[in-house]
Amino acid sequence: MDSNRYKQMEHVVIRFSGDSGDGMQLTGTLFSNISAVLGNEISTFPDFPAEIRAPQGTLSGVSGFQVHLGSERINTPGDEADVLIAMNPAALKVNAKGVKRDGVIIFDTDSFEKSDLEKALFKTTDPFEELGIPQSVQLIPIALSKLTKDSLEGFGLDNKSVLRSKNMFALGVICWLFNKPVDWALHFLENKFKKKESLLHANAKVLTDGYNYGHNLHLAVSTYRVEHSDNLPAGTYTSINGNKATAWGLIAAAEKAGLELFLGSYPITPASDIMHELALRKDVGVKVMQAEDEIAGISTAIGASFAGALAATSTSGPGLALKAEAIGLAVMAELPLVIVDVMRGGPSTGLPTKTEQTDLNQALYGRNGESPLVVMAADTPASCFHYAFMAAKIALEHMTPVILLTDSFIGNGTSLWKLPKIKDLPEIKPHYAGSELKGAYHVMKRNEETKIRYWSIPGNEGFEHRNGGLEKDYNSGAISTDPTNHGKMVETRRQKVENIADSLPLLEVEGNPDADVLLVGWGSVYGHLIDAAARANKKGFKVALLHFNYIQPLPCNTQQILETYKAKKIVVCELNNGQFAAYLKSKTRGIDFMQYNKVEGQPFTVSEIVDYIEKIS
Amino acid sequence: MEELSTAYSAKDFKSDQYVRWCPGCGDHSIVNALQKAMAEIAIPPHRVAVISGIGCSSRLPYYMKSYGFHTIHGRGAAIATGVKVAKPELCVWQITGDGDCLAIGGNHFIHSVRRNIDINVLLFNNRIYGLTKGQYSPTTQQGAITKSSPFGTIERPFRPAELAFGARGSFFARALDVDMKSAQAVMTAAARHKGTSVVEMLVNCVIFNNGTHNWISEKEFRSERSILLEDGKPMIFGKDRDRGLVLDGLKLRAVRLGEGGVSEKDLLVHDARCEDSTLHRMLAMMEGPDLPIAFGVIRSVETESYDEALVKQIAEVQSRTSIRNFDALVDSCEHWEL
């Protein structure tokens, strides 16, 4: 191949888009895994319709999968695409605006017939002209359906199965376009179709033919080369999505704590995959109950916690609302419990498959009474493992419910994850009542310094007790309505949660320490903010990022760091109308905060944040 | 429940807490019967967990010297489910009332029965909301005048048995607060049954619904107006044990022995272990004045409980995999060296 025709790229964004039945999620996943195996950093984001099977070829049925790969640190799935694969006119229409001016669009000419154009509500026969796609975008028409049929001639497959393989032809072309040998793709296919040999052979044939087809095209098109990354520490890696990472974090925590893991949950988009993964994990002894509703999901978990398990429940915004009263019970009974909220667009049913950070207020304040608990947030798909593990550790060691906020963006998105070993993870020591308390134990017996209640588990003789949602006497654990005692218990529960700050990592500012603009973020906006800071610094602005994963309590040096930037512009950037900004205002003194907010069901783009930085500088 | 050799007395299950139910409330005798039943089963107090929701009855855990959890309104069934599934070796009781169990907690009730979780449900049915001071409940008789139905309720009441059978319940029993001996007997049977055991306790509320069960609780009429069903025995009742039940077409009918040539061999024989719940349902639904109210264990069918099935499934999966811990799990996923 002519080496002059390589475009050397530090990072590149590819968007696979087609009908929800076109296999775009699989194609995208395979391609990102191949890239990862070959040493690229990756970040992916699936964008699927709310409908399971929308009418074929229509705009509402478009399913997308974006991959960002690079030789440098990759923090987001990328803004605009360098390459768009459009399997039909609807996919083109939905994604046209998201293609770079010098980008490439590969499309299936066999799916661009007049009737296909009509299904996607095009008025003319030239969709590119109609969408105003600039001339600078290079179009690569490929007769995917016909070529796939040719490729599979003599395989004896029915027409439907043949056409279902055309995504593999596209993958072959993409592998060629990005100079990725197909060997790994074939390896992944072997694992996927272990039990269906005929399908394996067919898919492998189409994939290889797609690659060779690209090769024969090469005079007309330049290919991309993205070198492998040197930033990654050596080790064993996989690519993982946030929901699976969350599930595995809980599994690791249970093993580390020497406890059984129990999940009580109810199906809800986009959190169900946590339940699916844990339901699979009977091999490591996980007990999963699909409850009759959200309330029973958390209630069974609270029962399991009372009985001595590491208990968790997983949900999304509407489910968290239903669980509110039960969370209050866990606060009052001072039981360890992990509540995972994979946030989506709200209020009400809202945008079930889209992403937002709008549940923060609900997590912090959505209960009756003075009801403090721990709120924390993961920031990348892979970090969901760490924060789920830490949520369990904090819950078990501090005897408190913990709400872990992730969202649709990182829950479904993937990033590279260096596989940990159980021995390298931090110890977890549940706050058990020791044998020295036998006979002297009562349900509210606590460590006087840390205020952490001692956990005694049914089955232990001499530790029988009655817990519950009624206020209890500080000294005896018996139910009490004494006014002074209630005040003391309210303060004790608050202090217990506040004390957790002492064990949290201190905040560190990333980026330019002499910044004029300090971006402040929490949770999944991390990738976009760190990239925006870097890009703005390259442009000559002085920008830094202060990012939060622990929200309640805040890390101990929060006030101190923010004070350092008091005279500068401090901008809280979040995918809601300013919930974290308001919270920070209530928790700090003498700091002015600016806000950058977006509530559109989509993540930030790096470029919009950079534009904003330019505007305010 | 596994029976242990150590001897216990009811005292071993009594906590030091002052019992705060109204004087004359039927709940007093139920907690006493439960303590006696636990002593009879001879399970150590630390292996008993008593879970309740909200309402007068739900205070019961405070009076038991065992593990107890007084939770939130209506959720006792779900919380008890979590306790049992997480720790199957515990003997788990759910204490609930007609409001807690059948109104706010109705969904959890039918689903715990459907799953056949091995918990014992004591449903205190006084046909009224007591703790909130006298509103009608899902079992209040139609037309009853209460604080929230000043002109009489226009709602049709639930029959707990019908719900339990509708949810494919494997155990249903009924007892009366003033008959401690048979209350203790059905509680013992409930504890021994594997699966959800629903025990409907007919309880009097002296303050807000006094005399609601008088038709049968008045001692002079009780034996005439009720029947204690015993597995394998003919259905006989009456002060002089001269009345019985027969099946007349698709209906139950009370007969007098000796009248019209009816003898004991014509009477129905109670089969609590019959899979088909049709007759159990008919017996549980009997009411006066023509038919006696049924007490005792009406249905007790052995079928695998959820908690047993889950443990079994986990063991089965584990028997055909080498993945048994986190390191092995991580190792099993698609991964590569960089």
Q: Which parts of chain B register pLDDT below 50? A: 1-3
Is B81 close to A188, i.e. CB distance below 8 A? no
Distances (CA, A) of B242 to A546, B224, B263: 86, 10, 10
Q: How far apart are the C-alpha atoms of A159 and B121, rounded to whole Å?
A: 58
Q: How far apart are the C-alpha atoms of A95 and A59, rounded to whole Å?
A: 10
Selection from B98, B34, B88 nearest residue B60 by Cα: B34
Selection from A422, A284, A253 nearest residue B324 by Cα: A284
Query: Is A2 a residue whose pLDDT tops 50?
Result: no
Give the confidence band of A1 by pLDDT, cuts at 50, 70, 90.
very low
Q: B247 and chain A: CB distance < 8 Å anywhere?
A: no
User: Among residues of chain A, what percentage have pLDDT more than 90?
Assistant: 88
Query: Is A84 a residue whose pLDDT tops 90?
Result: yes
Task: Let me know if residue B64 belongs to a domain.
Answer: yes
* Total tally of structural domains belonging to chain B: 1
Is A458 close to B49, i.e. CB distance below 8 A? yes
Q: B49 and chain A: CB distance < 8 Å anywhere?
A: yes
A228 bridge partner residues: none
The pLDDT value given to residue A216:
86
The CATH number of the domain where B210 resides is what? 3.40.50.970
pLDDT mean over A165-180: 94
Substitution target from B305, B336, B337 for chain A, most A beta carbons within 10 A: B336
pLDDT mean over A321-346: 98
The pLDDT value given to residue B1:
47
Is B82 close to A307, i.e. CB distance below 8 A? yes
What contacts B255, CB < 8 A, 6 or more positions away? Answer: B243, B244, B245, B246, B262, B266, B267
Query: Is A443 a residue whose pLDDT tops 90?
Result: yes
> Angle at Cα A228 formed by Cα A223 and Cα A232, nearest 5°?
155
Task: Let me know if residue B3 belongs to a domain.
Answer: no
Domains and CATH numbers, chain A: 3-226 (3.40.920.10), 238-424 (3.40.50.970), 431-503 (no CATH), 509-616 (3.40.50.920)
How many other CB atoms are found less than 10 A from the CB of residue A365? 12
Task: Let me know if residue B256 belongs to a domain.
Answer: no
Is B86 close to A309, i.e. CB distance below 8 A? yes
3-state secondary structure string across A15-49 = EEEEECCCCHHHHHHHHHHHHHHCCCEEEEEEECC
Domain of B161 in residue numbering reads as 10-232+286-306
Q: How far from the centroid of its chain's Cα atoms is residue B212's Cα?
A: 19
pTM recorded for the entire structure = 0.96
Task: Let me know if residue B19 belongs to a domain.
Answer: yes
What are the E-state strand segments in A75-152? 81-86, 99-108, 138-142
Question: How far away is chain A from the Cα of B103, in angstroms, using its nearest Cα?
Answer: 15
Is B318 close to A287, i.e. CB distance below 8 A? no
* Ramachandran angles phi, psi of B67, nearest 5°: -75, 140
pLDDT digits (tens, 9 = 90+) for A499-552: 999 999 999 999 998 999 999 999 999 999 999 999 999 999 999 999 999 999
The secondary structure of B248-312 as a DSSP string is ETTEEEEEETTGGG--GGGS-B--TT-S--HHHHHHHT--TTTSPEEEEEEEE-----HHHHHHH
Task: Let me know if residue B241 belongs to a domain.
Answer: no
Q: How far from the centroid of its chain's Cα atoms is residue A573's Cα?
A: 18
What 8-state DSSP symbol labels residue A32? H
Query: Is A218 a residue whose pLDDT tops 90?
Result: no
Q: B327 and chain A: CB distance < 8 Å anywhere?
A: yes
**Tokens representing residue A576 in the block:** 């809601």
- Closest-CA residue of B relative to A457 is B67
Is A458 close to B314, i.e. CB distance below 8 A? no
Selection from A365, A274, A369, A372 nearest residue A314 by Cα: A274
SS3 for A185?
helix
Distances (CA, A) of A296 to A292, B54, B138: 6, 16, 21
Is A37 close to B336, i.e. CB distance below 8 A? yes
Q: Which one-letter amino acid corresponds to residue B141?
A: Q
What contacts A343, CB < 8 A, 6 or more positions away? Answer: A316, A317, A355, A356, A357, A358, A359, A405, A406, A407, A408
Is A282 close to B317, i.e. CB distance below 8 A? yes
* Ramachandran angles phi, psi of A34, nearest 5°: -60, -45
Q: B2 and chain A: CB distance < 8 Å anywhere?
A: no
The pLDDT value given to residue A219:
56
Is B83 close to A283, i.e. CB distance below 8 A? no
Substitution target from A192, A239, A283 for chain B, most B beta carbons within 10 A: A283
How many other CB atoms are found less than 10 A from the CB of residue A51? 13
pLDDT digits (tens, 9 = 90+) for A366-393: 999 999 999 999 999 999 999 999 999 9
The pLDDT value given to residue B5:
53
Q: How far apart are the C-alpha atoms of A75 and A431, rounded to whole Å?
A: 37
Least CB–CB distance from B44: residue in A191, A461, A465: A461
* Ramachandran angles phi, psi of A225, nearest 5°: -130, 125
The pLDDT value given to residue A230:
86
B 259-318 near A (Cβ less than 8 A):
310, 313-314, 317-318
Instruction: Give chain B's length.
Output: 338
What 8-state DSSP symbol labels residue B60? G
Residues of A within 8 A of B81 (CB-CB) are: 289, 296, 299-300, 303
Is A255 close to B326, i.e. CB distance below 8 A? yes
The pLDDT value given to residue A232:
87
CA within 13 Å, CB half, A453? 29
Least CB–CB distance from B86: residue in A248, A260, A465: A260
Task: Let me know if residue B258 belongs to a domain.
Answer: no
Task: Let me know if residue B172 belongs to a domain.
Answer: yes
Alpha helices in A97-164 (DSSP H): 114-119, 127-131, 144-151, 159-164
Task: Cis check for the bond before A553: say yes or no (omega within 30 of 0).
Answer: yes
Task: Let me know if residue B327 belongs to a domain.
Answer: no
3-state secondary structure string across A468-530 = ECCCECCCCCCECCCHHHHHHHHHHHHHHHHHHHHHCCCCCEEECCCCCEEEEEEHHHHHHHH
Count of H-run helices and E-run strands, chain B: 11, 12
Q: Which one-letter amino acid corresponds to residue A372?
A: P
Distances (CA, A) of B103 to A265, B99, B112, B160: 22, 5, 15, 11
Q: How far apart are the C-alpha atoms of B160 and B154, rounded to whole Å?
A: 19
Distances (CA, A) of B87 to A132, A303, A309, A589, B311: 64, 10, 8, 48, 11
Q: For the sheet with B67-70, list strands across it.
A: A466-468, B67-70, B48-52, B91-97, B120-125, B197-202, B171-176, B293-300, B226-229
Give the confidence band of A217 by pLDDT, cuts at 50, 70, 90.
confident
pLDDT digits (tens, 9 = 90+) for B302-311: 999 999 999 9
Furthest C-alpha separation in chain A: 85
Is A238 close to B72, i.e. CB distance below 8 A? no
Is the interface score ipTM higher than 0.90?
Answer: yes
The pLDDT value given to residue A467:
98
Selection from B176, B143, B173 nearest residue B157 by Cα: B143
Is A465 close to B67, i.e. CB distance below 8 A? yes
Query: Is A199 a residue whose pLDDT tops 90?
Result: no
Q: How far apart are the C-alpha atoms of A29 and A39, rounded to whole Å?
A: 15
Q: Tell me the torsion sign for CA atoms B93, B99, B105, B106.
A: positive
pLDDT digits (tens, 9 = 90+) for A26-53: 999 999 999 999 999 999 999 877 777 7
Least CB–CB distance from A262: residue in B82, B329, B335: B82
pLDDT mean over A149-167: 91
What 8-state DSSP symbol labels residue B199? E
